[in-house]
Structure 1
Amino acid sequence: MFYVYIIRSEKDGSFYKGFSLQPLTRLQQHNNKESKYTAAKIPWQLFHIEIFDNKTTALKREIVLKKYSHQQIVALSKSFKNQLQHDIKYQGLGCSPVIPNWLGTG
């Protein structure tokens, strides 16, 4: 599986869009300041994710998403395309996400 993800900075609400085979590992790398583009805006949270069967389609989608405005990303995150909308359930009032099985941990 190939993943296109959007993460949101808790520091300033900005978004970063990327591609990964292991999105949770990649999120961890962003939060560990292993990316110069995102290091100054940690912590990051997974905001949107889409799954693709092939790399070419995923990379093309990433290019499209990189052109999206802030408002377009917010709207997209509420759409059926966001796998997190389908699969993450929230516990209690704190809304702690439960990571779905299909996303894995590594």
Structure 2
Amino acid sequence: MGNHYTYILECKDQTLYTGYTTDLERRIKMHNEGKGAKYTKIRRPVKLVYHEVYDNKSDALKREYAMKQLSRAKKLALIKEG
């Protein structure tokens, strides 16, 4: 199991992007090819700095939403704890 991911990317401009996927490698590749989110398209390259694994989509999407509500400082603390 465990094929649902929430993740945080660090963009070229040091901003952070939070997302959800079922295939982490493929999604990061898409972001770096400019086929991911509009936000990351102009901030390439991106690198994975944090991720969590979930057994179901619902839990992963709830966590993604919660992570998106965090301040930058709290996201950085989460990454550091990682």
- Per the normalisation by structure 2, the TM-score is 0.90
Q: Report the residue type matching 1:31 in the other structure.
A: N
Gaps spanning 5+ residues in structure 2: where? none
Q: Which has the larger radius of gyration?
A: 1
**What SS does the aligned partner of 2:39 have?**
coil
SS of the aligned residue for 1:42 comes to coil
- Partner amino acid, structure 1, of 2:60: A
Amino acid at match of 2:78: L
Q: Point out the structure with the larger helix share.
A: 2
Pairing 1:64–2:63 present: no
- The alignment partner of 1:41 has SS state of coil
Cα deviation, 1:36-94, whole Å, max 9, x if unaligned, reads 22111000000100001111010000000111111111100122xx3xxxxxxxxxxxx
The answer as to 2:4 corresponding to 1:2 is yes
SS of corresponding position for 1:51: strand
Count of matched residue pairs: 79
Runs of 4+ more than 3 Å apart = none
Instruction: Note the 1:1-106 alignment, pairs <5 A.
Output: 1-9=3-11, 11-34=12-35, 35-79=37-81, 82=82
Structure 1 residue matching 2:34: 3-state secondary structure: coil
Secondary structure of 2:10 counterpart: strand
Aligned sequence identity (%): 37
TM-score after normalising by structure 1: 0.71
